[in-house]
Structure 1
């Protein structure tokens, strides 16, 4: 049984179809990448999966339970966490308190939440910054804090929305190791990303969207050799 199933999902805004009849599954323990040009519908699909939008048609199932129509906090409690493309930490709070706030989802006391938060900060390399007010962090560390906040909720599936965007090469390497570490913990990952070399190196499977439609699905090798993908996305990226 797949951990997550997206079944014939469509999303309309007025007369515009942002998503059209999208279907795929995410298997437990894998890294599935969602790629496509800007405006392809990737973040809209994330918003459907984690409850910000209720699909106009179709449904989303998590562990074979229909979650379409659930609120984001309900879906998070079931075990689906996400990060956002534009990171928005609790700016006046410390790094540690940001993560503690997320850890309360599955903690019965402040002490338990604090211990969970410290473990996550150690894992994401933010322990030395635990007392820093979050608005003072550079972009690379704010991106890691976003991942830490999601991990603190104890997810089985984590949705990462462009967690590598804007990072320098050194920060990129750190983030790649964190993603690999998340997988080793047994957490399933669904990731949106434009860094194609990164996606090709860490993903088990890739789903490609273009104009709100799924145009391809397969392994990194299959996707990189797919002429539709090259025309719609990879070729564009290489020529940019």
Structure 2
């Protein structure tokens, strides 16, 4: 498998013979105001798309975990071909069909596309009332013969659902949305540095990849913060923290 972080939670996977684009946020830097009621007013996204040879506008398959604007934006809806097969969570279909996409599948539980098997997982996009207001979010587990089992956790904190997904699927690769995104009140709505440690401790043999940092104004845990905390927990170098455009093979 080839894995590349494009920016934020936008991922490029070459997996099971498919080129897969996950959670495309393709707008130019500073195109959108910062999320309100957050620790700063920086405009989003904070950084430009990286220079890369990857032709990420022409994937074989799209996966959108949920439709918050840092995971699916107007630029993605405009620039991506409308005939690309697209997997999403139930209830989000209309967002894509209204944008003109013609091959949209809401994955209730499991789905197979060509040689790749997909299982949708769930999580909590925060706690308490804020978590409820953030709505439903999903992750996806990918499996194919000869490929590492890969779990894309999506916008969830560490809680029962990702723990159960790890227990059920024993993934070889786990991609977590770190950054500790938060509002001025309440707990984080994505994994923070403590949650990433919990993931690694729960799945010590897996390659854990932490993304969703240094691109959105309410993500307050930076790559440097995460690396420093991992080192303090004797996990230095045991979690991959890619830069925008960086890629790995597994």
- TM-score tier, shorter chain, comes to 0.3 to 0.5
| Bigger relative contact order (CA 8 A; separation at least 6) | 1
TM-score, structure 2 normalization = 0.32
Flag the structure with larger Rg.
Answer: 1
The structure with the greater share of residues assigned to helix is 1
TM-score (norm 1): 0.33
